[in-house]
Structure 1
């Protein structure tokens, strides 16, 4: 069972009857089609027609959407472990997971060179703080330097760390902002921050650099544009760095953590929450490469929303 740092009801366990129905559906779902970077509308319609016929699916979907949109929500974990045990995390399972995520928003892949599901493996040669590294992956939102980042990021656990570490960490970015001093909020609203490169991307707008952490947009449109890695960027003055460090400290103080298990799908609303990962277990060199932690990532766009545009 996942370990979680405080009581929370956002783990979506499926009724056995629904699991059995989804296993049968997963075996017959057709391959998806793409329209540019997005899952084709015809594929979403076909997948939805299959899902709504499954017993109790509407109830589970409604609960998922309620958890994601609720005042204390903003992230959820859909537990598909027993389905993964039957189907394996291969083509049939990925079609089914994609169909379920399509009920939240439109799946798309902003990295033009990658498939719809992007691998996040464990690379012993990568810098420890990167998503593929073995160290602490500090709080961030994905594609922080795009004018239209994905509205949701979804992470599917194919293999947890066999050494028992690498817990996912999340924090309510907007709650953290509310605990800041007024002077820090003023500094964070100024376009003084930057991070990362910007190339070979699709449907995420333009490069946003420098960007403000607080863009002043309503919650459903704006973002708390934060990545701890921006603190190491050259040219950031001490006042703005101090404000960002204060925000980082507030995020850490309010974090939740849990360990994803095989088949778990974590969905994070990027307008409200940031995510990261605790270090993997010591001794990764002793773990065979095919047994190390592996996630798959998929992004979602709320097609009814438009993101903030750099001025």
Structure 2
């Protein structure tokens, strides 16, 4: 279901021998502990040691890192479906394996004190349709757009896709979209004239950033493109700045890729390169039992967290 003319997503399939080895070590991975907002050092080191004990892991993690940070990259989908089937998506052994892969990229952390490390994103038919747990179109955005230190990576582990067949994941190369805009539009996007949402009960993500520029200018190729399409309808913006953001939104849609996550698929998005969203779920969600509806688990990652900057 990849859009014609777009780049193919980096689907990474594990070899059968690697899957067998990971299933074997799944029970040896300890329960995770959190220190502040970050995965505890002791847990991180244990996970890394267990992964290093499986020689076949090295090539896969190298491929994963290249897909996320190499030229032209910015996201990847780890196909962990066979592990999920063998262990069960609700089994902590499977979640620990997914977490161990995440820890090969950066340090897992939770910005939400009231939520566990993995945050459920289910389906609520009575919620705002445009929200992550709603049933409508979830437009392109970066997570925690109004934080001075947003997560470097946003990840989604698919437990259940929409049983009715909707909810395609959508991604778009933010810097490529910006590059297609005229210079006067980019100049407006670089001005601190944008704001969106609230900011409370968060840690590990800095302070509230309000107003903020969509283009932060720190790195033309690797800086955040602080964008959420929801600001176009839920924030009061000046006409010129709103129009510039609208042009960016159109370019993001023009360059998007889309695909369906399957059970066990683990999507990792480099927020310094790509923005993400979701197509609407299929109509009829009210008739689907709550326990059968689409369910994703969200986890965030912080690069360079152990220098103390993310505490």
Aligned residue in 1 for 2:2: 4
Measure how far apart 1:4 and its partner are. 2.5
Residue 230 of structure 2 aligns to a residue in which SS? helix
1:102 maps to 2:100: no
Instruction: Supply the distance in 1 between the matched residues of 2:220 and 2:159 (Cα, whole angstroms).
Output: 32
What RMSD, in angstroms, separates the aligned Cα atoms of the two structures?
1.6
Q: CA deviation at 1:205?
A: 0.4
Q: Which residue of 1 aligns with 2:126?
A: 125
The two structures have a TM-score, normalised by structure 2, of 0.95
Post-superposition CA distance 1:57-115 (Å, at most 9, x none):
10101111111111111000000000000101121111111111000000000111110
CA–CA distance in 1 between the matches of 2:27 and 2:234? Answer: 48
Cα deviation, residue 218, structure 1: 1.4
Distance 2:7 2:253 in 1: 17
The CA deviation at 1:304 is 6.2
Is there any run of 5+ residues in structure 2 with no aligned partner, and where? none
Q: Distance in 2 between matches of 1:53 and 1:181?
A: 51
Q: 1:9 to 1:161 in 2, by over 3 A?
A: closer
CA contact (8 A) 1:75 1:269 kept: yes
Give the alignment of 1:232-311 within 5 angstroms. Answer: 232-303=233-304
In 2, the alpha carbon distance for the partners of 1:72 and 1:136 equals: 26
Partners of 2:223 and 2:32 in 1: CA distance: 30
Matches within 5 A, 1:44-193: 44-89=44-89, 90-193=91-194
Secondary structure of 1:228's aligned partner: coil
Which string of whole-angstrom CA distances, capped at 9 and with x for unpartnered residues, describes residues 11-68 of structure 1? 0100000000001111221111111111011111111111111141101011111111
In structure 1, what is the Cα distance between the partners aligned to 2:14 and 2:234? 44
| Cα distance, 1:261–1:139 mapped onto 2, change above 3 Å | same
In the other structure, the counterpart of 1:309 is: none
In 2, Cα distance between equivalents of 1:294 and 1:72: 30
Q: Does the 8 A contact of 2:9 with 2:77 survive in 1?
A: no
Which residue is 1:229 aligned to?
Answer: 230
* Cα contact 1:31–1:95 (8 A) shared by 2: yes
CA distance in 2, matches of 1:42, 1:212: 38
- Given that 1:221 and 1:305 are in contact with CA atoms closer than 8 Å, whether structure 2 keeps it comes out as no
Determine the structure 1 residue equivalent to 2:36: 36
- Cα deviation, 1:180-213, whole Å, max 9, x if unaligned, reads 0111111101111111110010110000011000
CA distance in 1, matches of 2:71, 2:224: 16
Separation of aligned partners in 2, 1:199 and 1:9 = 34
Paired residue secondary structure (1:58): helix
